[in-house]
Amino acid sequence: MADPVVVPPIEAGSPLIEEPVKRRRTRGASPSRRKKRGAAGPAAKAKRTRKKQPRARGKVAKRSVSKTARGRNRKSAPSSLAERSPVEANAANPASGAREDRNAYEAGYERGLYEGGEQLLEQLVPPGVLVAEIHLRDVLAAGLAASAPRMFPLADVGVVYEELTHAIETKQPYALVRLGDGELLTLAQDTLYDAETIRREGRFLPYAGVNAPDLAARDLVAAAIRQVNRVGVPLSRRKHFLPLLHPVLRHHGIDPDSMRLTSSTINYELQQSGLLTHLLSGKRLLLIGDMAPSLAETLVAWGFAVCGVISPVNGFASIDRVMQEASLIDFDLALVSAGVPAVVICWRLAAEFGRVALDFGHLADALVKGQLSV
């Protein structure tokens, strides 16, 4: 008798044992139902055949396009900030965008500072020499010292206050007017600038009371400057301020040496020094301009005496009406906030009525809005 064959135990997972094949079940059908389907007649078979027919062609195409589009969108979507547009990147990371804007601003500022200063100095240095350890500010200071004969004295706020109070107390005519970019562009009409340039550079002039071209307004402003007691001039070296002052004066035959000058911001200096309070106290005030009604309420609330209000002032066409109304009011000091026409109104109040008039400007707005006080 043959020895029995001993089969060694085989561990699970050994390649010698094949795992049973798992049959896939039809979704939703149990074995008993599949058996019943196999025994069904021709009608049931035909029904199953109809169910296996492919879907409508249009639906298949639509699904295919949708998948393709989704795949394409997934591929084209930016994977990092570096692949996004600057706007998208800044929106996703506001701090980064703000930092880039700040860096761009600083770079532009540095370039402008160089081209407007150090580069000019470079161009003026004679060849063959090195100008070292000298700052532009030092060069400018030395140049100004050498230019002293060409400087014009400006009355400070104390002098102007004394002139105003003396004129009021002695009942002498006195007009203080101020020149800014609006007045200087008005004077530049058809002298330094043509009409098109005035319209382009002085788009704010209608708001200031000048509908350019208006040569009659230009000539009235020039006449006023020749005859008033004190003229405030701009210290700013921006395009239409101090750089425009002397050229327009020369074109109108006005000698700067004959003018009694102060700063064009003398109205604010009076307020900041506290002298405006003393100037207005105990005086009968006439307020002229679009802000005059509101300014009257503000000043009365602060205890000042307002004896008259003339408003509105619609450009140079309103000057004659303003003068007619002012002739009916007994006042000590007129505060005029009427844009460019204020220069002519102050001049005429002094010349025709022997009164004291101050070109008050936008200080009226600041007082009404509570930005400043007296």
Q: Which residue has the tokens 């230009």?
A: 218
Q: Tell me the residue length of the chain.
A: 374
Q: Name the more confident of 286 and 67.
A: 286
Residue 305 near residue 284 (C-beta atoms within 8 A): yes
Longest dimension (CA), the chain: 157
Q: Which amino acid is at 262?
A: T
**pLDDT of amino acid 113:** 86
SS3 category, 329: coil
Q: State the DSSP code for 371.
A: S
Taking only the tens place, the pLDDT of each residue in 92-101 is: 666 777 778 8
C-alpha distance from residue 86 to each of 94, 109, 136, 180 (Å): 11, 22, 38, 41
Q: Residue 47 and residue 51: Cα distance in Å, rounded?
A: 6
Q: Which residue has the tokens 């070109």?
A: 359
SS3 category, 128: coil
3-state secondary structure 49-78: HHHCCCCCHHHHHHHHHHHHHHHHHHHHCC
Residue 177 near residue 342 (C-beta atoms within 8 A): yes
Q: State the DSSP code for 321.
A: H
**pLDDT of amino acid 99:** 79
Q: Which amino acid is at 56?
A: A
Taking only the tens place, the pLDDT of each residue in 169-207 is: 999 999 999 999 999 999 999 999 999 999 999 999 999
- Closest to 267 in 3D by CA, of 319, 333, 349, 311: 333
DSSP characters for 61-127? HHHHHHHHHHHHHHHHS--SGGGS-HHHHHHH-HHHHHHHHHHHHHHHHHHHHIIIIIHHHHHHSPT
Taking only the tens place, the pLDDT of each residue in 244-258 is: 999 999 999 999 999
53 token code pair: 């027919």
Q: Which residue has the tokens 């085989």?
A: 10
Taking only the tens place, the pLDDT of each residue in 101-129 is: 888 999 999 999 898 888 888 898 899 98
> Residue 287: beta bridge partners?
309, 335
Taking only the tens place, the pLDDT of each residue in 11-50 is: 444 444 444 444 555 454 454 444 444 445 555 444 454 5
**pLDDT of amino acid 41:** 52
